[in-house]
Amino acid sequence: MDFPKVQITTTDAKLGMNSSRPPIEISQRPAEVNMEQNFRDTVHISTEDVKVHIDQSEVFADAGMLPPLEQAKQSASRAEQTATEYIAKTAREGEQMKSIHENGGGGAVFASIAKQNSRVLELDTEMSSMPQNVGQVKFEVDPASISFDVEKAEVNIDAKVYEPEFQVPRWEVQHYLRQKPSIEINVVGVEVNRAI
């Protein structure tokens, strides 16, 4: 006896997927660079001349040429000595005149005093060279000097950097049903009374 057969046919569901992956965009403005440079170094030169100090005071002193204060001091000393000698001489002459009666009187004392006071001035002269010694002239030398100050030319760099800008669009994935699932059931073979 043949029995009816049930035939089942199925169709699988199929899913579809669309994905969108747009690229990442990166943009960056170029940097702005300003450069300034002075191409010449600056050199400052300062000089100081040589200085020679000559001390001839000993030579002038030997020649009798003294500074005013020193001359005044020596003149005062000589005047004091001359005054002292004159006072002593006058005192001696006074003593001689006081004892005129002891010398037998007369003018012998006055004649002697007059003779002493009428002496011709005697000067001693001698030849010499000025300065007498080279060591009397003293030299002091401050040497010349020169100094350099160099100001180097520098490069001034002013840079303005811009940050990169990123544009990242969203990635999208879309799912859809490409084929619907189905089940088909068929009875094959003997006729089946479906009314039962």
Predicted confidence band of residue 134 (pLDDT cuts 50, 70, 90): low
Structure tokens at 48: 């100081």
26, with CB counted inside 10 A (0-12, 13-18, 19+), is: exposed
Give residues with Cβ within 8 angstroms of 180, minimum separation 6: 11, 13
Of 144, 145, 146, 155, the closest CA to residue 43 belongs to: 146
**167 within domain boundaries:** no
* Residue 126: inside a domain: yes
Residue 116 inside a domain? The answer is yes
% of the chain at pLDDT higher than 70: 84
Per-residue model confidence as pLDDT tens digits over 36-90: 877 788 889 999 989 998 888 777 777 767 777 887 888 889 899 999 988 888 8
Q: Is residue 152, in this structure, part of any structural domain at all? A: no
CB 132 within 8 A of CB 56: no
Q: Residue 151: which pLDDT band, with cuts at 50, 70 and 90? A: confident
Q: Tokens at residue 100, please?
A: 């005129």
In a domain, residue 128? The reply is: yes
pTM, two decimal places: 0.33
What pLDDT is stored for residue 120 in this prediction?
Answer: 65
The pairing of strands 51-55 and 155-160 is: unpaired
Kindly indicate the confidence band of residue 5, based on its pLDDT and cuts at 50, 70 and 90. confident
Note the Cα 141 to chain centre separation in Å.
28
Which range among 11-20, 100-109, 175-184 shows the weakest confidence by mean pLDDT?
100-109
Q: Is the pLDDT of residue 32 over 70?
A: yes
CA torsion sign for 173, 174, 176, 178 is negative
What are 83-128's pLDDT values in tens digits?
998 888 888 877 777 777 665 555 677 777 777 777 666 667 777 6
Structural domain contains residue 83 = yes
Which residues lie closer than 8 Å to 171 by C-beta, 6 or more apart? 19, 20, 21, 22
pLDDT at 182 over 70: yes
Per the domain annotation, does 14 fall within a domain? no
Can you give the pLDDT at residue 47?
92
**Domain that includes residue 95, residue range:** 57-141
Name residues whose C-beta falls within 8 Å of residue 186's C-beta, 6 or more positions apart in sequence: 6, 7, 8, 9
Domain count, the chain: 1
- DSSP line for 59-90: HHHHTT---HHHHHHHHHHHHHHHHHHHHHHH
- Per-residue pLDDT at 147: 92
Name the percent of the chain lying above pLDDT 90: 6
Whether 61 maps to a domain, the answer reads yes
